[in-house]
Structure 1
Amino acid sequence: MLRLGRRDVGEDLLIMAIVNRTPDSFYDRGATFAREEALRRVDEVVAEGADIVDIGGVKAAPGTEVDVREEIDRTASFVAEIRERHPDMIISVDTWRREVGREACRAGADLLNDAWGGTDPGLAEVAAEFGVGLVCTHAGGLPPRTRPHRVEYDDVMADVIARTTALARRAVDVGVDPERILIDPGHDFGKNTWHSLEVTRRLDEMVATGWPVLVSLSNKDFVGESLGLPVDERVFGTLAVSAVCAWQGARVFRAHNVAPTRQVLDMVAVTRGVREPVRTVRSLA
């Protein structure tokens, strides 16, 4: 069983909508940095069918330094506004820092999305303290906001499974509810395009660990390099790999483009037989 916020997820496939409070995000170029634009975007993704809103205060790539105080300013009070505006929404904060996680939880966050693989072990302890969820991500041992350089693995999926499940077990050991833990292969993080493609093909091996799997595929470089497309033309490629991961059993999909992702996930669920079609009259009337 996966439990996030007050929701028992069951077999549902969830969309985690990305709303970045940063002026330099790789995809939206700061479109939701301003508070009013960010709130408008939250309302929009909720209407489009998002199950989770993921708030980020620091872009993943190298760039201008953002200290702890600035990251808290960008995220915590915004979490409180979302909580007031959408009381039942699952709210996630994308951070690797315990100080940010603590203030986000005080403001009402339900999930801490640690994209940098436990760089700050105290983040898991914050999740335990507040009874919230935790995403345990494979980043290949890289420090935050660094790009991989000629990274090599004997077996990339073996490394992904070993690191993410170790993080998950440690989280349980410090008191995080095991039903609130997800693991994430970390596409593009600590990986080249070949690695990310292999992880995608073999995602069922992660699913077989028993931990719910989150994937963050949206408009990433491995999609762009595979198709030879710039960041603003990667939607269809993203939807294709989303369907591949959904078929293999991924549970949560971090996405910029919510409405088309919702259709893809619903169609996969119907095809797998875990969701009923909306209507079935063909050849029956």
Structure 2
Amino acid sequence: MSNEEPVSSPKTKGRDGFFVSSPQKGAALNHRRSPRSKKQAGIWHCGDYRLNYARRPLIMAVLNVTPDSFSDGGHFFDPDQAVEQALRMEGEGADLIDIGGESTRPGATPVSVEEEARRVVPVVERLAKQLAIPISIDTTKSEVARRAIEAGASIINDVSGFMRDPHMLSVAASGKTGLVIMHTKGTPQTMQRRPRYHDLIGEIRRFLNERIDAAVFHRIPQNRIAVDPGIGFGKTANHNLKILHRLGDFADLGVPLLVGPSRKSFIGRILDLPPSERLEGTAAAAAIAVFQGARIIRVHDIKPLARVVQVAEAIRREERNR
């Protein structure tokens, strides 16, 4: 990582130039009539945080507070263990923590609003007092998102693209939270039943464009939005490989691109390995994603992937400077 003097937000002490100063309270920004820009701003606005993804790609750490997630389900179901793991991941180089209380693996059983909130809100509340990095809540339920934001979350990561709950965009618009809009096809119960596309990349692009427009219509500024093409969500192994190969096709959406290849089944299919042994495959996919323009990488293994991303970014910058 860079040795430059960090710039701090009012809320925390930043590192590696990751945070930049927040605008003063009361500063007015008029986004109502501004046309969408195709150029990325370089700064992702998430609550009181300003995340500088132009300087380097960001590492989003995965923390599943669930008994049944495909990779680490049950490992951090206990709140004390979840808090300890989040602090460890911050120390290993995570730039933000994504906390989920409902598994989104193929075939996962849905949980109620109350059960999901019971799992995540106490963890968010405790971590908001201890972390120097922002917290993302991984949920498709507006009530869970609302409670998590009240507890200290700064980002909503909705794997349904803010489609499943009609109130989710309103919750996001009511505050200053960042958004991750992900493409998926179907639900966790149905998404892997022979997913088909006439035009894979075109269909994903159209979906993401439409959902960005929907967010902007709700008066959510473009600089609060990131998008995720949804590797592993309603895609075959070949679909996932094609998405990674063509990530550059999403560069003109005007918002940062998040990619989550960590331990996914397409890697397991290539290597014939279980989730716990897919680190090297994840590293290869993450490096390709960065080289193709991804600015946020969502992973379980922080220290090794932060190093991989740093090297991949150095190669990408050298290529661009030729």
Q: Give TM-score, length-normalised by structure 2.
A: 0.81
- Which residue of the partner structure matches residue 281 of structure 1? none
- Matches for 1:205-224 after TM superposition, within 5 Å: 205-224=249-268
Answer yes or no: is 1:48 the counterpart of 2:84.
Answer: no
The whole-number CA distance in structure 1 between the counterparts of 2:155 and 2:252 is 23
- Which residue of the partner structure matches residue 46 of structure 2? 4
Label 1:152 to 1:65 Cα distance change in 2 as closer, same or farther (>3 A). Answer: closer
- Which residue of the partner structure matches residue 123 of structure 1? 168
- Which residue of the partner structure matches residue 73 of structure 1? 118
Higher normalized helix content (fraction of residues): 1
User: Would the aligned equivalents of 1:131 and 1:177 in 2 still touch at CA under 8 Å?
Assistant: no
The whole-number CA distance in structure 1 between the counterparts of 2:268 and 2:202 is 25
Q: CA deviation at 1:10?
A: 4.3
> Aligned to 1:113, what secondary structure does the other structure show?
strand
- Which residue of the partner structure matches residue 179 of structure 1? 223
Answer yes or no: is 1:137 the counterpart of 2:182.
Answer: yes
Answer yes or no: is 1:163 the counterpart of 2:207.
Answer: yes
Q: CA deviation at 1:144?
A: 4.5
User: Would the aligned equivalents of 1:216 and 1:253 in 2 still touch at CA under 8 Å?
Assistant: yes
The whole-number CA distance in structure 2 between the counterparts of 1:213 and 1:65 is 27
Q: CA deviation at 1:271?
A: 2.1
Q: Output one character per residue of 1:187-222: Cα deviation in whole Å (capped at 9) or x when no partner.
A: 010111111111110000012322210011100011
- Matches for 1:240-251 after TM superposition, within 5 Å: 240-251=284-295
User: Would the aligned equivalents of 1:133 and 1:176 in 2 still touch at CA under 8 Å?
Assistant: no
User: Would the aligned equivalents of 1:124 and 1:134 in 2 still touch at CA under 8 Å?
Assistant: no
User: Would the aligned equivalents of 2:258 and 2:298 in 1 still touch at CA under 8 Å?
Assistant: yes
The whole-number CA distance in structure 1 between the counterparts of 2:135 and 2:189 is 23
| Ranges of 4+ aligned residues in structure 1 off by more than 4 Å | none
Q: 1:82 pairs with 109, 114, 127, which one?
A: 127
Q: Output one character per residue of 1:147-193: Cα deviation in whole Å (capped at 9) or x when no partner.
A: 32112111111111111121111011112221010110100101111
Please, which runs of 5 or more residues in structure 2 have no aligned partner? Answer: 1-40
Q: Output one character per residue of 1:74-107: Cα deviation in whole Å (capped at 9) or x when no partner.
A: 1122111111011x31100000011111111111
Please, which runs of 5 or more residues in structure 1 have no aligned partner? Answer: 275-285
Equivalent position amino acid for 1:30 in 2: G
- Percent identity reads 36
Equivalent position amino acid for 1:130 in 2: G
- Matches for 1:140-151 after TM superposition, within 5 Å: 140=185, 142-151=186-195
- Which residue of the partner structure matches residue 260 of structure 1? 304
The whole-number CA distance in structure 2 between the counterparts of 1:77 and 1:245 is 33
Q: CA deviation at 1:38?
A: 0.5
Q: Output one character per residue of 1:117-162: Cα deviation in whole Å (capped at 9) or x when no partner.
A: 221232121111011011111102x135433211211111111111
The whole-number CA distance in structure 2 between the counterparts of 1:122 and 1:84 is 28
Aligned pair count reads 272
Note the aligned Cα RMSD (angstroms): 1.4
The whole-number CA distance in structure 2 between the counterparts of 1:174 and 1:4 is 16
User: Would the aligned equivalents of 2:53 and 2:295 in 1 still touch at CA under 8 Å?
Assistant: no
- Which residue of the partner structure matches residue 27 of structure 2? none
> Aligned to 1:92, what secondary structure does the other structure show?
strand
User: Would the aligned equivalents of 1:52 and 1:92 in 2 still touch at CA under 8 Å?
Assistant: yes
Equivalent position amino acid for 2:158 in 1: D
The whole-number CA distance in structure 1 between the counterparts of 2:228 and 2:61 is 16
Equivalent position amino acid for 1:263 in 2: R
> Aligned to 1:30, what secondary structure does the other structure show?
coil
User: Would the aligned equivalents of 1:119 and 1:143 in 2 still touch at CA under 8 Å?
Assistant: no
The whole-number CA distance in structure 1 between the counterparts of 2:228 and 2:110 is 25
Q: Give TM-score, length-normalised by structure 1.
A: 0.92
